[in-house]
Chains A and B, each alone.
Chain A
């Protein structure tokens, strides 16, 4: 079958259509930015977007994705540059070991796409499923607030464009 990942159509062999998408991304497609932290949907390290919605890649298969558009951390930036969330993450020096941060950034960018001015409660609700053992939470909160004061998401794949150079709205 074919999956649409980061705006491109990719082939998934029949043998893998019922495997967790996390492994198809990491092993078959060599998109290793989506991380394996538990495999059972608890830690959030494998968070990606499916039609713009934050989703745990370990909890669904290519067959379940079907024709929906998948965005991974590798596809979040556009031709114009880093996503506002990515820029905010750098400005606030959020990361330590970095392992959870792909998932954090995907959850945060999905939050801001639907709630451009989130309250603390919105942030808690959207982000409390992304665990961080290094304790970068205070900076995650600051970076989300900072990014929310900028342009809304320019994530081309989330807006449904085929290529990063698609129409801006």
Chain B
């Protein structure tokens, strides 16, 4: 969704106000690739030859940063481990798009290659001038032989010699269209397209990686914000008397309107006692139950009231007399990010200027939103993005705002550390979904009519980031996350695809793949049912409804070949195929699941994955493996339930994640890796088709109809 579209929908474009100056406008994220000018500060070569990449990628260890390092290495001709990375900070970058949607390589790879190539050429000119030779006499050295970057006659120069004592940052008039090496399919590359182990893995295995909770600042105190017992509880009063009397007490801050109770102590040991001594009095508002939540987005209830909020496709005549071949109801639960890292935020003030260090997927949006909440100008707040230990899609950085509020009160730097119960209580979660799919086959066994109605919670327009008045207006703008994958690649005849995104009393928002996994589960379940009604093999049935030249059809052919597909399975041993597009990435999955002692056990998962250009095949494989394990969690392990107005899970035993014992054999076919030309991602796409295939195979093995996740929580 572009900034313009959103503003138009909210009625702002008529006002003639500029984006930069109007405080009434909501903070709106920057979208799209950076212009060349914006990339000028991304790469620096220091006087001693060190290369520094000021990366635009917010880092989860997902491999995109490594991909950019490989590109820089390729363009400069230096080894990957000679390049240091600085994580995104509003202090040293111009605004960049946040890291989400598996877009990082598509958006940043070319600009990084171009700035690195331009830097190489500026260096070449510098060497030519210093040696009084023509530029053409400064030749590229063979990469990674002895560290030399250029050869001039008999001299071999490394970066330090080339830079000759003067740090190099190129400026606007040196940036010109240059030939990049990284994406030239005809030429061999040294790093791009290779299985480079991320250089930061050495730090990981020695415990040296720094996350937000590892930050120590001089004079730093330790703060905590007490979570309300339910998201809509009202804070009536707080007694800090007992807490104040404790040794280690530094300060406290209460804002009844905001429902904010925060305390600060000298150290985390005494902080615990301080927290325990605080006496907040909350008035519980609604005490909604799981049934209440289910009813709010029950798709059949929404349909009885008429059309859903938003028609994605509407060319189907809803003929009362139509005989549906398949008519199914599918539900998926609310789901938690459940990162292993417990979030933390660190903040310090100098006068009316603040610096926050926090895990965020968008340092600039976080800066803009928090500056408003703190009542300061954008340029008085710096946000340093930190390496994040999970919660893909969930990182808005609220814990950093906690720290900033408390640091201002304490007049000292403050670190706020969330607990595991905080993570369940204060995060936003992936919303539950509810689907009704009706479809009709024609006489030839092809799908001629398709009606898919979806009820779900909000995905992209989350309460954690947007002001209440924008939330109230959210009926005006599309919530694209709820729709992800709902309009797929299949030819389905005449279709009606409609969505309602309901504001739920539990905060919901982006989760890995947005709603792609629940939507794929529903769609692929209907496709399987239609294949059965048509008496056609599920794989062949899917191919009949796809364009033969499509990447999705190719992935289906490849996965069938790799897995030795011989048809679906049955009771005791399930075998299922599923496919889905996510952006431009095509994924097809075949899963084999057996029943063992009444439980489903995933034995084998085969994936064919086409994401176009692959900078690092091994990192792409790692992401695909991770998506498969993630899907095992969704299909067989976990769901969030609510009772008495809140999510019941507090620790991970209340939200069981897959363990190493659940790991199947995973085989991966990277379709056209190295020869593709399209740009698409790998961080999320597999979760959709994997969820659908594993759920289907598990349902077969257990002898149940796949109508809900996790499979076998309830039988259809």
Choose one: A93, A129, A132; the contact of B198 (CB below 8 Å): A93
In the complex, which residues 174-216 of chain B have their Cβ closer than 8 Å to any Cβ of chain A?
195, 197-198, 200-202, 204-211, 213-214, 216
Choose one: B206, B268, B338, B626; the contact of A33 (CB below 8 Å): B206
A1 in the interface (beta carbon within 8 A): no
B588 in the interface (beta carbon within 8 A): no
Q: Which residues in B have their C-beta under 8 angstroms from that of A19?
A: 269
- Name which of A134-142, A150-158, A161-169 contacts chain B: A134-142
Q: Which residues in B have their C-beta under 8 angstroms from that of A60?
A: none
B580 in the interface (beta carbon within 8 A): no
A93 lies within 8 A of B619 (CB): yes
Residue in A closest to B391 when the chains form the complex, CB atoms: A133
Q: Which residues in A have their C-beta under 8 angstroms from that of B207?
A: 31-34, 72-74, 102
In the complex, which residues 75-107 of chain A have their Cβ closer than 8 Å to any Cβ of chain B?
76-77, 82, 86, 89-91, 93-102, 105
In the complex, which residues 34-66 of chain A have their Cβ closer than 8 Å to any Cβ of chain B?
34-40, 42-43, 45
Q: How far is the CA of A36 from the CA of B210 in the complex (A)?
A: 13
A117 in the interface (beta carbon within 8 A): no
Q: How far is the CA of A61 from the CA of B209 in the complex (A)?
A: 25
Size category of the binding interface on chain A? 35 or more
Min distance, Cβ B223 to any Cβ of chain A, angstroms: 14
B390 lies within 8 A of A134 (CB): yes
B342 in the interface (beta carbon within 8 A): yes
Q: Which residues in B have their C-beta under 8 angstroms from that of A136?
A: 622, 625-626
A37 lies within 8 A of B204 (CB): no
B61 lies within 8 A of A97 (CB): yes
Min distance, Cβ B313 to any Cβ of chain A, angstroms: 34
A98 lies within 8 A of B269 (CB): no
B628 in the interface (beta carbon within 8 A): yes
Min distance, Cβ A91 to any Cβ of chain B, angstroms: 7
A95 lies within 8 A of B629 (CB): no
A37 lies within 8 A of B666 (CB): no
B653 lies within 8 A of A42 (CB): yes
B202 lies within 8 A of A15 (CB): no
B346-368 vs A, CB cutoff 8 Å, 1 = contact: the mask equals: 00000000000000000000000
Residue in B closest to A98 when the chains form the complex, CB atoms: B204
A68 in the interface (beta carbon within 8 A): no
A96 lies within 8 A of B340 (CB): no
Choose one: A42, A98, A141; the contact of B652 (CB below 8 Å): A42
Q: Which residues in A have their C-beta under 8 angstroms from that of B63?
A: 96
A38 lies within 8 A of B651 (CB): yes
- Name which of B427-435, B475-483, B656-664 contacts chain A: B656-664
B629 lies within 8 A of A89 (CB): no
Residue in B closest to A94 when the chains form the complex, CB atoms: B201
A124 in the interface (beta carbon within 8 A): yes
Choose one: B61, B337, B619, B626; the contact of A98 (CB below 8 Å): B61
B210 lies within 8 A of A32 (CB): yes
Q: How far is the CA of A40 from the CA of B622 in the complex (A)?
A: 29
A113 in the interface (beta carbon within 8 A): no
Min distance, Cβ A93 to any Cβ of chain B, angstroms: 5
Q: How far is the CA of A10 from the CA of B236 in the complex (A)?
A: 47
B211 lies within 8 A of A135 (CB): no
On whether A97 and B341 interact (CB within 8 A), knowing A32-B207, A89-B205, A137-B629, the answer reads: yes
Residue in B closest to A86 when the chains form the complex, CB atoms: B205
A32 lies within 8 A of B214 (CB): yes
Q: How far is the CA of A74 from the CA of B61 in the complex (A)?
A: 20
Residue with the highest number of chain A CB atoms closer than 10 Å, among B338, B340, B629, B652? B340
In terms of DSSP, what is the predominant structure of the interface of chain B? Answer: loop
B652 lies within 8 A of A131 (CB): yes
In terms of DSSP, what is the predominant structure of the interface of chain A? Answer: loop
Q: Which residues in A have their C-beta under 8 angstroms from that of B570?
A: none
Q: Which residues in B have their C-beta under 8 angstroms from that of A32?
A: 207, 210, 213-214
On whether A90 and B201 interact (CB within 8 A), knowing A23-B269, A32-B210, A138-B625, the answer reads: yes
A96 lies within 8 A of B60 (CB): yes
Q: How far is the CA of A153 from the CA of B281 in the complex (A)?
A: 55
B161 in the interface (beta carbon within 8 A): no
Q: How far is the CA of A136 from the CA of B389 in the complex (A)?
A: 13
Q: Which residues in B have their C-beta under 8 angstroms from that of A105?
A: 205
On whether A95 and B61 interact (CB within 8 A), knowing A32-B207, A90-B202, A136-B626, the answer reads: yes
Q: How far is the CA of A19 from the CA of B198 in the complex (A)?
A: 36
On whether A96 and B61 interact (CB within 8 A), knowing A23-B269, A127-B660, A137-B663, the answer reads: yes
Min distance, Cβ B322 to any Cβ of chain A, angstroms: 43
Min distance, Cβ B606 to any Cβ of chain A, angstroms: 13
B62 in the interface (beta carbon within 8 A): yes
Q: Which residues in B have their C-beta under 8 angstroms from that of A134?
A: 61, 390, 626, 629
Q: Which residues in A have their C-beta under 8 angstroms from that of B208?
A: 33, 74
B342 lies within 8 A of A36 (CB): yes
B204 lies within 8 A of A95 (CB): yes
Q: How far is the CA of A76 from the CA of B210 in the complex (A)?
A: 18
Q: Which residues in B have their C-beta under 8 angstroms from that of A130?
A: 659-660
Q: How far is the CA of A138 from the CA of B68 in the complex (A)?
A: 25
B201 lies within 8 A of A95 (CB): yes
Residue in B closest to A131 when the chains form the complex, CB atoms: B657
B541 in the interface (beta carbon within 8 A): no
A135 lies within 8 A of B214 (CB): no
A39 lies within 8 A of B269 (CB): no
Residue in A closest to B654 when the chains form the complex, CB atoms: A42
Q: Which residues in A have their C-beta under 8 angstroms from that of B511?
A: none
A128 in the interface (beta carbon within 8 A): yes
Min distance, Cβ B237 to any Cβ of chain A, angstroms: 29
Q: Which residues in A have their C-beta under 8 angstroms from that of B200?
A: 98
Q: Which residues in A have their C-beta under 8 angstroms from that of B144?
A: none
B660 lies within 8 A of A97 (CB): no
Choose one: B205, B338, B626, B658; the contact of A96 (CB below 8 Å): B626
Q: Which residues in B have their C-beta under 8 angstroms from that of A36?
A: 213, 342, 417
Choose one: A15, A23, A98, A124; the contact of B209 (CB below 8 Å): A98
Q: Which residues in B have their C-beta under 8 angstroms from that of A73?
A: 205-207
Choose one: A90, A91, A127, A135; the contact of B627 (CB below 8 Å): A135
A99 lies within 8 A of B660 (CB): no
On whether A37 and B342 interact (CB within 8 A), knowing A134-B626, A139-B622, the answer reads: yes
Q: How far is the CA of A123 from the CA of B662 in the complex (A)?
A: 12
Residue with the highest number of chain B CB atoms closer than 10 Å, among A19, A32, A128, A130? A32
Given contacts A16-B269, A90-B202, A139-B625, 16 further A-B contacts (CB under 8 A): A27-B269, A36-B417, A37-B340, A37-B342, A42-B653, A72-B207, A95-B61, A95-B201, A96-B622, A97-B389, A105-B205, A129-B659, A131-B657, A134-B61, A135-B627, A141-B663
27 contacts between A and B (CB under 8 A): A15-B269, A23-B269, A33-B206, A42-B651, A74-B207, A74-B208, A76-B206, A90-B202, A90-B205, A93-B618, A95-B204, A97-B62, A97-B341, A98-B61, A99-B339, A105-B205, A124-B661, A130-B660, A131-B340, A132-B629, A133-B337, A133-B630, A134-B61, A134-B626, A135-B627, A137-B660, A141-B660
Pairs A-B, 7 closest by C-beta atoms: A33-B207, A135-B629, A99-B389, A73-B207, A135-B626, A98-B204, A128-B659
